[in-house]
Every structure is written in C-alpha cells, then in structure tokens.
Amino acid sequence: MKKKEDGFTLLELLLVIGITTTMSVVSFQDKMLETEQAQARRLGMEVFQYNSAVQNYLAHSSGLPNPASLQGTYTGVNWLKSSACGGTANKEWLSCNFLAHSNGKTSFGRLGFTTEIKYDPAAGLTGRTVMTKLTLGGDKQERADLAGLAALVASGAYAVSEDGKAVTAQDSTVAYCPDTAGTSPINAVCQSDKGSIVMLSRNLSAADRWLRVDHGNAMQNVLEFRTGDPTPASQTDIQAIDSVSRQIRNVARIYNLGNGNSNGESDNLYLGKKHGDAAKAMVTLPSNAVVVDADQEVLGKLVVAASIDARGDISTKGNLRSDGNASIGKNMTVAGTTKSVGDLTTDSNLGVGKNAVISGKITSIGDIIGQNNLAVAKDGTFGGKVIAQNINSKGDLSSNTLNVIGGGRFGGDIYAPRMIDSNDGNYYLDPNQTSRLNNISANGIWSGGDISAGNYSSGKYLLPTAIENKNGSCAGVVNGAIAKSISGEILVCQGSVWKAPGENNEIHYELVYTMRSGGSNGYMGQLWLGKFKIDSYGNKQFIGYVPMSAYECNGWCGGPW
C-alpha cells in the first residue's frame, strides 16, 4: 500500500491565490469608492458655500436703486471675494481662503463656476450657476453618481416650502442634471445643461430665508442671526462674532405685539438682554410698551413728549433744563449748572454742584443745598429759614426776620426803621426818632440841632469849628453858645455879643457903709460904695471904695437914700 503525502497541490494553491486576489480587488474598489464619496461630500459643501454666497449677494443687491445693472455672466469665485484679498467685490461674500489652494477650482474634480445673473421687475434678481462636468481618470469618465451625491449634500442645507413644489419653490436650489431624455420638475433648473451640477438662486418671497419687508414672508419663530463668516468653512468660523453682518438697517418702525396677535396675547416690546424674563416681573407697564432692560446710552439728543419717571438718580455733566415746571419727588443731584425757565418744585433735597439758574419759582419742602453760588435773577421767596455762609444781593432782600450769625456785608444802602441791639433791647438806633446808645466812639460828630439831656464829656479835646469876631454880634444865637476867634480864642455868646470867657465886662456898685463927718453941706456923714467887676460867668471881683457921687455912680447907685 502506497503512503499518502502531506501538503497542498498546485491546483489548491492557485485556487487560494485567485480567491484572495479577487477579494483584494473588491476591497480596494470599495475603499476607492468610499474615498470618492467622501470627496464628493466635500465637493457638496464647497458647492453649498458658493451658492450661499451668491444668495447673500442677490438678497443684498436687490435693494439697490438699479439692480438691473448687475445682469451679466460671472466666471470663477473672485467676483464674490473682497478686493482686500484680490477679489472684485466691495465686501467679503466668500472667504478669502475659499478654494485659494486650487485657484478657484473645487478640491475634488477641479470644477469651475459660471454664474449668470438676470433681473425681472416682477421676480427680482436670479442667479443661475452651471458647473463643469465631473470627470475622473485618464479617460475622463463622467461620474454622475458622485456629482449627484455632491448636489444632494449641497441641497440638503436648504429648507423646502410647504406648497409641494420642492424644487421650484426654494429660494436656492442645487440639483444634478442627468444626461437623459426624460422630463422632471428639475428641468426648469437644468434647462439645456446635462450632466452638470446646476444651482439656482432667486429672490423668492414664499421661501426666502432672508427677512423681507414686503410681507412676502412671515416669521413664526425666533429670528436669530448667525455669527461669523457668511460662508463658514469650520465650526470656529460659525462661532466667530461679526457685528457688521448682524445689523438691521433702514428700518422705518419697530413696534410691540399689542393686541394684534391671533391668540389674544398682549405684551411689551423688550430690548436689551438676551434673556429678559426677569424684566417681566419688574416692569410696571403691563402691555403696549417698550421696555429696555439693559443700560442705555444716548449719544444724540433725547426728546421726550410726556413725563420722565426715574426710580434712581438723574445725573448730568451738562445743563438740566426745563421749560415748564420741574417736580422732583426725591433728591436731585446735578454736577453742572441747573437752569429752569419755569418753576422748579422738589419734595426733598436739591443738591447743585455749580450754579442754579431758575427763571420761575423754586418750591422746596426740603433743604436746598448748594456747594457753590445760588444766583437768583429775580425775586426769591422763602417760607422758612435761609441758612447761608454768604448772601450777596444786588436787589432787595426782604424778610420778616433776618438772622445773620456771622458777619453781614452790604454793598449798598440799608433801609430799616430801627436797629435794636440783640444783646440788650434797651439800646437801639432810630434815625428818624430818638436813639439810645451806651457810648459813641467817632472821629467826628456833626449835629444840625442840639445835643442835650445830660452832661457832655470829652476824653481829650473839645474843639469848636465856628469862627466869630470878638465883641461881634451874636444876635439870634442862644446865650452860652461857644465859638472861636480867628486866632483860636474861645468866644461865648453873652447878651448878643461874642465875648471872651472871664473878661471884665460889667462894673457893679454896692452900698457898703456911711462915713460920718461934719460937712459944709450940712450932711451928717458921707455914703461910700463898694466897686466890683462881674465877668461873663457871674464872678465878682472887689476893686475898692468910692464916695457916692453922681459922677461915680454915673447916674445909677443902688441903695436907699
């Protein structure tokens, strides 16, 4: 019996090699197809980015004064790029990095873009883009499967209208036009172009993804702007903030919900923070109002037709002016000048850092505190006390009682019937009547009348200023009046004559005794008289004895004979 040998025969080896080769070829083809499909999906994203840029361009340009001027054929992608990076557009509709590595051709298949823009006054602007056919390999084989996948990926980013005509109702349509003789709804998009990806962008109101102002579409959800690049290439670009692309321009009116909602809801219009639920609990106006729940800065003029109610302070670095009445329920603090043409009424404190100019009345239940001057151009009426460090008044200052604790200075005249000493009311100054003063210290005292009712004492000198002639007439002047001569001698009015004090002005005789002797005339004795001088003060000075005779007596001798 022959022994059986171990191992594989040649036929078995060939069979194994054939099966393995076949499996490898199939696996390789699957990998190639998977790679091509991934590239086709990337192609679809690039197609979507380009068509979105065209749609943005048409929507923006539809509001130009002459949109018909945009009609024409545009080749490549540079017409949608900013002039800052080699493009021809005045702003960036496509990112400067879009297909920059492939000179404006797609990354897969190196497809080019040709866009034709038309204008119809009834339909607006329309942009139709035809791409070159997708061919691969050295024999340039058309790949309809990959082109269709790319178109499907690109068109999946757009919403479809509810009117049932999915292709024709979209504002943007991306479709692959097969090279067949059959008809389909996409023939309106494809027209005569076969075997290519065709994109159609229109200004269609029924399915426009842009907010329109002609009531062509109606919002049923939150209006939220996408931030960042208008044709984002990555998630980072989508999350980037671009304030220029989130503006609302040329708006005529924004108003609140009011009573026009179909569900009967009535609400305010809230402006400010992203989440304003807290403001609804704080607001005092229930409906039909505009509520700003964030800080507000107005760089221009603010005109308010009705009242302004502020729960906090109103601070201004400039002037606060009111042509009518200004009523302040609480404190009012102003760093600059406060000017009011009408009345200014405050129930609490009024703090003014600088001048307060009030043309009307000021009515304050609380204090009026000024860190600087308080200027009142006209009358100022204060029902209570006025407490001030200094009061400067160019006009009248009227008060029932004016208490000045410190010094008081008046640049003009002071008019008052009487001035009473606050320390002792028994002393007063009454210019029109009698005044009572304790002491007077003055450089000079002039009186048009008499100074009487008591002794007159001079601590130093008493100097008369009237000059008269000695022995001159002082008729009409009261006796005892004092004057002086031109040489400075004191003169006294005595008997209508100006005389010097102590001067012997009068001779007076008095009977003293009788000297007895026998005389030839038969008298028993001789009468003798005492002779005296009497000065102007009444003082007598004895001169001597003289016998009585008609000559000596000069016609007058006192005493009985």
- What pTM was computed for the model? 0.39
| C-alpha dihedral sign at 378, 379, 383, 389 | positive
The pLDDT of residue 7 is above 80: no
Q: Are strands 113-120 and 124-131 parallel, antiparallel or unpaired?
A: antiparallel
Q: Note the pLDDT of residue 167.
A: 41
Task: Count the neighbouring beta carbons within 10 Å of the beta carbon of residue 40.
Answer: 22
311 DSSP assignment:
S
Total residues belonging to the chain: 561
d(CA 288, CA 269): 8
The pLDDT of residue 138 is above 80: no
**Region of poorest pLDDT, from 145-149, 161-165, 454-458:** 161-165
Give the Å distances, CA to CA, from 160 to 7, 42, 166, 171, 398: 67, 22, 6, 9, 85
Q: Note the pLDDT of residue 130.
A: 94
- Name the more confident of 400 and 273: 273
**Phi and psi, residue 309, nearest 5°:** -110, 120
| 531-555 pLDDT, tens digit each | 666 665 666 766 676 666 543 444 4
89 DSSP assignment:
B
The pLDDT of residue 105 is above 90: yes
Closest of 199, 52, 40, 44 to residue 114, by C-alpha: 199
**Region of poorest pLDDT, from 100-104, 235-239, 518-522:** 518-522
**Region of poorest pLDDT, from 162-166, 383-387, 394-398:** 162-166
Amino acid at site 255: Y
d(CA 81, CA 88): 6
DSSP letter string, 104-149: TS-TTT---EEEEEEEETTTEEEEEEEEPP-EETTTTEE-HHHHHH
The pLDDT of residue 75 is above 90: yes
| C-alpha dihedral sign at 176, 179, 180, 185 | positive
239 DSSP assignment:
H
| Secondary structure of residue 32 in the 3-state scheme | helix
Q: Note the pLDDT of residue 118.
A: 92
Residues near 539 by beta carbon (within 8 Å), at least 6 away in sequence: 502
Q: Note the pLDDT of residue 120.
A: 87
Residues near 356 by beta carbon (within 8 Å), at least 6 away in sequence: 334, 337, 338, 339, 350, 370, 374, 375
- Name the more confident of 183 and 424: 424
| 12-53 pLDDT, tens digit each | 666 767 677 666 655 655 677 788 888 888 999 999 999 989
Rounded to the nearest angstrom, the gap between the alpha carbon of residue 423 and the centroid of all alpha carbons in its chain is 51
Q: What 3 state SS string does 484-500 have?
A: ECCCCCEEEEECCEEEC
**pLDDT, mean over the chain:** 74
